[in-house]
Amino acid sequence: MTNGAASDTTPVDPDDKPGRGVIDLLAMMAYAELVAFFRLSDDAGLAPDLAAKGELAGIAATEYGHYKLLRDRLEELGVDPEAAMRPFVEPLNAWHARTEPQSWLESLVKTYVSDGIAGDFYRYIADQTDDRTRALVAEVVSDTGRGEIIAARVRAAVEDDPKLGGRLSLWARRLVGEALSQAQIVAAQRVELAALLAPRGADTGEGAGGSEGASSDLAAVSRVFAKLTEAHSARLEAMGLNG
C-alpha cells in the first residue's frame, strides 16, 4: 500500500462518511479488480513465452493490490466488502461471459480496451465525489506503463500477421458496445451510483426515484460513454488497429 490520501487509515468521521453512490463505486471497482486479477493470471498461463508470462503476472499482481486498496477502504468506512460487491457480481460476470475471448490476443485486446474505458468512466464518476475518493480512484486506475506492455504485444502480433488487424478491430468495437450495455443495466439498478454521472448542480428532473430521473440517469450513461469512446480510436492506434 502506498503513502498518501488514498491509502491512509485515519478513522472516518461519521458526518463525513460518503453516500451510497460512493460505496457502490468503490465496491464495483473492487469486484472488477478482483476479476481482472484472476483473468490476467489465466492469461499469463496461456502466454506464448516466458517474458509475456512474467509481464502479465506482474499486471495481475498490480490488479490484486488495487483490489486490496478498495477493500480496505470499504472496511474503513464500516462497510462489509463482500456484501457491497455482491450487486455487481452478476452484471460484471454477464459482461465477461458475453465477451469471452477466443484467443490470447483477443484477451489482450479486451484487457487493454476495457481497462481504458473503465478507467475513464471511474475517473468521471469520481470527479463528482469527495477528495479522498478521487485520490483513491486515481491511484487505482493509474496505468504506470502496464497498458503499453499490452499494446506493444498486440502491435507486434499485427505487424507479424496484418490479417489479424481487421478481426481484432471488430472485436475491440464489440467490447465497447457490450460495455455500454452493461453500464446502462448497472445504472438502472443502482440509482445512487448513476446519479453521480450528473455534474453537481445539474437538474435531474424527478430525482433518482422517479421514472424521469431513471431515464435521465440512463441518458447520462450514454452521454458519458459517447465522450469516453472518443479516446477509443487512440487506443486502437496504440495497438496497431483501426476504427
Q: Quick check: 9 pLDDT over 80?
A: no
Quick one: cell of 168? 481484432
Which pTM does this prediction carry? Answer: 0.82
Q: CA distances (Å), 114 to each of 76, 110, 182, in order? A: 28, 6, 12
- Each residue of 153-211: pLDDT tens digit? 999 999 999 999 999 999 999 998 888 888 888 888 888 888 887 654 444 444 444 44
**Three-class secondary structure of residue 162 per DSSP:** coil
User: What is the rounded CA–CA span in Å between residue 138 and residue 132?
Assistant: 10
